[in-house]
Amino acid sequence: MEDIFAPEAKLWHHVESVIRREMDLFGYSEIRTPILEKTELFVRGVGNTTDIVKKEMYTFNDKGERSMTMRPEGTAGVVRAVVEHNLLQAALPVFKCFYIGPMYRYERPQKGRLRQFHQFGVECFGTDSPYIDAEVIQILYMILKNLGLSELNVKLNSIGCPECRPVFKEKAIEYFSGMKDKLCSECNERLTVNPLRIYDCKVPECKECSKDAPFMSDHLCKSCGDHFEKVKSVLSSINIPFTHDKSLVRGLDYYTKTAFEVTSKHLGAQDALGGGGRYDNLVSELGGPKAPSIGFGMGLERVMLAVKNQNIDLKISSGQDVYIIPFSNNESDYCFKLLTGLRAEGISSQMAVGEKKMGSHFKDAEKIGARFAVVVGENEIKSGCVAVKNLAAHEQANVDAAGLAEYIKNALKK
Ligand code: HAM
């Protein structure tokens, strides 16, 4: 779990503002749900055979002996809220929302993998239109592009539906049963409970086994096959580059049909910047109406890491406009009023506190990234004229205190 503070915090604000702008553009409104939910929600929603539910949740009994879990992901909580508040009925024909917030998974920490991490996620409820699949993938891709990220790989697959997947599962079980001794112990377990997960096992022997295995996307029913073809053609028509990755299966149980992930070449082993897919049955499984839906989650720490690894200069302005330095404590009252006046005019300003040598004050001004230092002594108060120093240009001017804000504004424009 990490602390986030300046200057890093500025980068977070920038990324969040790019996200919010895109969300306005695409018509998604913000939803904020609690971090704590009943454990049962994730067991039913995410699935009790998944790594998340089996090994990674922060779960505890509260004082009322209820089993509670700190959300490991955002979708289940959002679905709960949508059902609880009838949001879908109110927002016909579709309900589109997004969230930004912390998630918790007790995973083995490594670069790009934390126990508290932040996700930006979007969910669109109430339609199985392949245009929405394309739209959701487009959102993720556009945001990453707008942040300057390149060498992205959009991986796309279809993992079928309750009609075609069970039939395929039997085929996969039959195939992998013949090579049990080559599969890792975890995949041997997966073979009976969730054979599709064998396809994304990172163990080289398991990868070798799944190379010639039958793939879900070659055994889709007509409805899933048609849907997949349409999603691909819409993405091509809007120039979103993608690769069909037959072994992409995703680690959460609620997915149907479309599954996708966007990876970056600028990250290490944990290279997925975001991932998601369609979940046509989750809303009804959690007590809501029939509402085919789709969404994704994007890992903000991984996005920050990719921005840094790619040396992207986001031109984020930092530092203050003005640093006011009272010559001694006697001038502090006057300076504090001056400071208040500048801030009221929208000029970011700080005032030096505590008596110091002038040289140290100027060092502090540099430290906070001030563009101008304003020095006020007894004489300045008497004359009503303050000394303004442009710290980058090393120029000094005497400025009428009443016109200080105007002077700084003009100087900043230059
Ligand atoms: P997910 O693939 O588990 O999907 O997570 C989405 C993204 O969150 C990942 O691609 C990664 O960038 C980030 N992430 C996941 N775990 C960690 C971690 N331990 N440390 C840092 N970043 C991490 C979901 O969570 C689904 N709820 C997405 C979704 C929304 N599907 C439909 N709607």
Dist CA 17 CA 191 (whole Å): 44
Token pair, residue 233, equals: 């053609």
Whole-number average pLDDT of the chain: 95
Per the listing, tokens 């599709």 go with 196
The predicted-structure confidence for 81-125, as pLDDT tens digits, reads as follows: 999 999 998 877 899 999 999 999 999 999 999 999 999 999 999
Q: Could you read off the pLDDT of 128-158 as tens digits, one per residue?
A: 999 999 999 999 999 999 999 999 999 999 9
Q: Taking CA 68 as the corner, what is the angle to CA 62 and CA 70, rounded to the nearest 5 degrees?
A: 120
56 lines ligand 1 (CB under 6 A): no
Dihedral of alpha carbons 299, 305, 310, 315, sign: positive
Q: Is 74 in the pocket of ligand 1 (CB under 6 A)?
A: yes
Report the separation in Å between the CA atom of 73 and the middle of ligand 1, taken as the mean of its atom positions.
7
Measured CA angle at 113 (ends 293, 207), to 5 deg: 75
CA-nearest residue for atom 15, ligand 1, is: 299
The residue whose CA is least distant from atom 6 of ligand 1 is: 297
253 Cβ closer than 6 Å to some ligand 1 atom? no
* Distance of alpha carbon 285 from alpha carbon 282, whole angstroms: 5
pLDDT digits (tens, 9 = 90+) for 151-194: 999 999 999 999 999 999 999 999 999 999 999 999 999 998 88
pLDDT value at residue 248: 96
Atom of ligand 1 nearest to the CA of 113: 20
Instruction: Determine phi and psi for 126, rounding to 5 degrees.
Output: 105, 10
117 lines ligand 1 (CB under 6 A): yes
CB 36 within 8 A of CB 71: yes
> pLDDT tens across 401-413, in order?
999 999 999 999 9
- Ligand 1 centre and the CA of 282: distance in Å? 17
**CA distances, 287 to each of 89, 92, 114, 129, 284 (Å):** 14, 18, 32, 22, 5
202's tokens: 């990172």
d(CA 78, CA 278): 15
Q: Model confidence over 260-312: pLDDT tens digits?
A: 999 999 999 999 999 999 999 999 999 999 999 999 999 999 999 999 999 99
List 127's β-bridge partners, or say none: none
Question: Does ligand 1 lie within 6 Å of residue 276's CB atom?
Answer: yes
- Structural domains in the chain, sorted by start: 8-164+220-309 (3.30.930.10), 322-413 (3.40.50.800)
